[in-house]
Structure 1
Amino acid sequence: MHSSARYSLASSQARLAARVVFGLGTIIFLMLLAALMVQFFAPSSRWPSLLSSNAAALTLLAIAWHHTQRICQWRADIVDPPNPENALEDTPPPSWLYQRLGVLLTSDGPGLVMMAAIVMFIVLAGWGSHYVALDDGRLRWIAVGVIAAAIFITLVAERHLAATSREAWPEAQAIAPVLRLVMAVQCLSLPAFVFPTLNTALLINLPAVLVLLVALEFLLRGLFSLFMPPRAEGAERVYLAKSQLAAQLVWPPRPLLFLQHEIHQRFGIDLRQLWALRVLKRAFIPVMTIMAICGWLLTGFQQVATTQRGIYERFGKPVAVLPAGLHYGLPWPFGRVMLTENGQVHELAAGEEPDTAAEPLTSAEGNAPQSADRLWDAIHSFDKAQIIASQSDDQQSLQIINSDVRFMWRIGLSDDAALAATYRSNDLPALIRSTASQVLVHQFSSMTLEQLLGEQRNLLASQINRAVQQKLNALHSGVELLSTVVEAIHPPAGAADAFHGVQAAQISAQALVSRERGHAADLAASAQIEATTRQNQAQMNAADAVSTAQATAVRFAAQKQAAAQSGQVFIDELWFSQLRQTLGHSPLLIIDSRIGAVTPPTIDLRDFPTLNDAARRDAPAKPTQEPSR
């Protein structure tokens, strides 16, 4: 018969633990329901995270009270066994497998594992990385009052259980650390309500981190309990829902006290009696102080890599630009070094989004990368839409094109450029991108698509580079543009085919016009040549006729004068001369004019054939020989 205090008080302790578990379960349910509703309507609010972390801490406390209730109920059953009249006397004994399965299911280990997993799920469900400011209203002060009242109640319960004798209630010493865990979570939740604009995710999630660590310890304890030897019949149940991490929440902190106690209990070694440890304990504070001072002085050493430059700040004011190497200055926080680039060249596309992932490098033997695609009918992520001028039917309008303009830039090599790039701009790529957008809008707004397509790319790139560099210099950005490349200028992908058709029609029309103009010019030239030829021929004939007439007139005048001076002699001489010219190449037959006294002299110019010609003409033709059949 057990007569100790823990057995005699077990019944009342079991009832108290059951009531506490029921009350905590109700509170946990309401808190999780409120967190779920807030999460549904305001996902970025800090209420779900704080409610989930506090509900998870109360769940750990409910687990501890539940295990206490089961152990106290077991003790109460030992003192006052239940009435066995309703038990069946003829029930056959269960099999070995059924007995082992029943022992596994009724043990505290699997239940602790399952509940610890649920607690971890609750914590992770309320975890967040971005929170908005809390509304400055009355509700947050109500939450502060509720948390303060809960801290007071938890503190009273913890002090009561911590003062309870181990003989009267052994589990009270294990529940007290979990109560301190709940108080720690509640205290860490207060700054999130007191300071509504404090949106640091680490501070808001810090209670969840603490609960998650203790839940992980519960999970490991439950898993390790499955490998423990079975409890002997009549032996007390082992209390598993205890946490050594929660036990460290004491003041002053004594993290080595547990290790010292365990070594003394398990191995019989009392570390307090070792002289070396006493000396180490006595010299620990001075040695650690000297080490901390030396470590603090070593923070004045700063190493600058060869690809970087260091801007040394003394009391928050930049005083020098340090080259690559090892440097020493004032220790932190009086002096520090801000690292910046030293000549590194970057490529930036004007139309590239800030959060675009870098394209992976492709193999030299593989396919071309996606960025090498310059077809107009494809949509490129690095293209930037621009509004340009347009003219249709003698009316001014607007048009949209896609351009791919890339900038090669770096931080200037001078000290002033390094200081300007570090302190005057928070995001240099964003500054270059916005400045380039302004320049491109101004540059393209007064040009049409035909002008842009026909413009020299090098000249256009140099103009853009010069304009962007002037704006960056005016902003004192410290950025140096090495080159600007206009990769592509084309209509949007959806209008590329239509633009190709328009271009083809324009080229065909221009070709037809040029061909017809050439044909007209050819006809005009031919007509001009023929007219010139005829004019020259007419002029030549006229000149020839005039010359002939003039010569005839001169000859007639000379012959008239000769006839006047010589008389019939000249006429006869002229007649014989003309007759000689006329008959110079004709066969002559001279007949004496005195044959016929009455007939005057006659010149017969007929051409009589010779005897050979007459014989040849009168000869019969040769008969034609018919081909033999």
Structure 2
Amino acid sequence: MPFDWEEYQAKKEVKIPEVVKQWEAKWKKFKQSMRWPVLFIILVILWLASGIYIVSPSQVGIVKRFGKMVRTTPPGPHYHLPYPIETVIKPQVTKVRRLEIGFRTISAGPPAQYRTIPEESLMLTGDENIVSVEFIVQYKVKDPVHYLFNVKDIPKTVKDAAEASMRETVGKTPIDEVLTIGKFRIQQETKALLQSILDNYQAGISIVAVQLQDVHPPQAVVKAFKDVASAKEDKSKFINEAQAYRNDILPQAKGKAAQIINEAMAYKETRIKRAEGEMQRFLSRLKAYKQAPKIIRSQVYLDTMEKILAQTREIIVPEKVEKIILPLNQPSQTLPSMEGRKTSLTTRGK
């Protein structure tokens, strides 16, 4: 029987499609049977991959397992068991948060606009005056675990504690000091008191700064306070002027006093030296008198007469001189001399 090539080719073409169809049917059946397992595996992989997380440099990772904190993680990539087994919270620990007390910012501007909150800003001072105090509080996270789990509402807690601390500090300070030189001390004392309160709460908060923004009397009495301030300025002005006059006159008075004292001391020394000199002269004359009494007596007499006659207005003319009547009642008189020349005589005296 001869080989029929065409019939062989026809049979071959029929068998190949049948094999393909069989394999296609088997593959389809396999895909249908593996669809859900593969999908489940993919979902499990994605679920496990959801535990990868990254903590930024400004954050700290807090991992909770079924709601309970189990560990903290530093900045960098980390892994935790997927939700709902474990979850992670990443609070900002370097961010400085800001609270406004006594006022609220309506618009940052420019120009900035603010709204006063009287129930927060009005406070009683140590001398029972009312003052309006507006300030801000800056804080950041110190302990992220305490920050997240110990206090429910951190901003409200910090605000209430800051307001209470400021009221206590202002309540111990006179209004003049609150309005002028006591602001820095009030800020520091309020900051320390607020920090101690939050530490007692274990809030995990660090107070960065307490800054007074505006301190002024209530609007109803601003004019009266301005008048008082003007009077105090005038008082300070007068005190400064008086102090300047005092500083000017005191050195002059002290200088004059020192001059008078020095002159008195010089006069004292002069009188003492003169008295000592007279005493020494008297003692020396006494010694000479004991040795030659007549000579010393004559010398003393002549010295005394010289002093007396030096002050008299009379002129004594010896007998040998021509008899001329001298005008003793006139201080100066022109008289003729024996040689016919005019001679001027002047009396001696005071």
What TM-score range do you get, normalising by the shorter chain? 0.5 to 0.7
Of the three residues 329, 334, 348, the one matched with 2:99 is 348
TM-score, scaled relative to structure 2: 0.63
| d(CA) in 1 for partners of 2:273, 2:333 | 37
Measured in 2, the distance between the counterparts of 1:580 and 1:285 equals 155
1:476, CA displacement in angstroms? 0.7
1:471 to 197, 210, 220: 197
What does residue 308 of structure 1 align with?
59
Q: Is the 8 A contact 1:563 1:571 kept in 2?
A: no
Distance in 1 (CA, whole Å) between partners of 2:280 and 2:75 is 114
Decide which structure has greater strand share.
2
Deviation by residue 1:252-273 (Cα, 9 ceiling, x = unmatched): xxxxxxxxxxxxxxxxxxxxxx
CA shift for structure 1 position 593: 3.3
What is aligned with 2:218? 492
Alpha-carbon distance between aligned partners in 2 of 1:576 and 1:342, rounded to the nearest angstrom: 112
Structure 1 counterpart of 2:77: 326
Give 3-state SS (helix, strand or coil) of 2:173's partner: coil
Question: Paired residue for 1:451?
Answer: 177
Residue 406 of structure 1 corresponds to 136
1:385 alignment partner in structure 2: 122
C-alpha displacement of 1:312 = 0.8
Change (3 A) 1:281 1:492: farther
Deviation of 1:410 (Å): 1.0
Aligned position for 1:575: 302
Structure 1 residue 439, shift from structure 2 partner: 1.1
Taking a change above 3 Å as real, the CA distance of residues 307 and 564 of structure 1, as seen in their structure-2 partners, is: closer
Q: Unaligned 5+ residue runs, structure 1? A: 1-274, 372-377, 391-397, 584-588, 615-629
Q: TM-score, structure 1 length as denominator? A: 0.38
How much has 1:487 moved relative to structure 2? 3.8
Q: Is the 8 A contact 2:60 2:90 kept in 1?
A: yes
Contact 2:137/2:211 (CA < 8 Å) preserved in 1? Answer: yes
Choose between structure 1 and 2: higher helix proportion: 1
Give runs of aligned pairs for residues 367-386 of structure 1, distance below 5 A. 369-370=111-112, 380=116, 384-386=121-123
Q: CA deviation at 1:538?
A: 12
Output the amino acid matched with 1:328.
Y
- Mapping of residues 184-223 of structure 1, within 5 Å: none
How big is each residue's C-alpha offset from its partner over 1:159-196, in whole Å with a ceiling of 9 and x where there is no partner?
A: xxxxxxxxxxxxxxxxxxxxxxxxxxxxxxxxxxxxxx
1:460 equivalent in alignment to 2:186: yes
Task: Give 5+ residue unaligned stretches, structure 2.
Answer: 1-24, 336-341, 343-350
- Cα–Cα, structure 1 residues 346 and 504, in superposed 2: closer, same or farther, change >3 Å? same
Letter paired with 2:121: K
Distance 2:99 2:57 in 1: 24
Shift in Å, 1:462: 2.6
Q: How many residues align?
A: 301
Deviation at 1:411, TM superposition (A): 0.7
- How many Å separate the matches in 2 of 1:597 and 1:569? 35
> Residues 339 and 552 of structure 1: is their aligned pair in 2 closer, same or farther, counting only changes over 3 Å?
closer
User: Hey, what's the Cα distance between the residues in 2 that align with 1:322 and 1:545?
Assistant: 98
The CA distance in 1 between the partners of 2:115 and 2:150, in whole Å, is 36
Q: 2:298 corresponds to which letter in structure 1?
A: I
- 1:444 positional shift: 1.2
Distance 2:246 2:199 in 1: 58
Q: Any idea what SS the aligned residue of 1:467 has?
A: helix
Residue 322 of structure 1, CA deviation: 2.0
C-alpha distance in 2, partners of 1:319/1:606? 134
Q: Assess if the C-alpha contact under 8 Å between 2:55 and 2:74 holds in 1.
A: yes
The answer to whether the Cα contact below 8 Å between 1:388 and 1:445 also exists between their aligned partners in 2 is yes
> Is the contact between residue 137 and residue 207 of structure 2 (CA under 8 Å) also seen in structure 1?
yes
- Structure 1 distance, partners of 2:61, 2:272, is 105
Q: 2:60 is paired with a residue of what secondary structure?
A: strand
Using a 3 Å threshold, how does the CA distance of structure 1 residues 552 and 448 change in structure 2: closer, same or farther?
same
- Structure 2 residue matching 1:340: 3-state secondary structure: coil
> How far 1:563 moved relative to its partner?
11
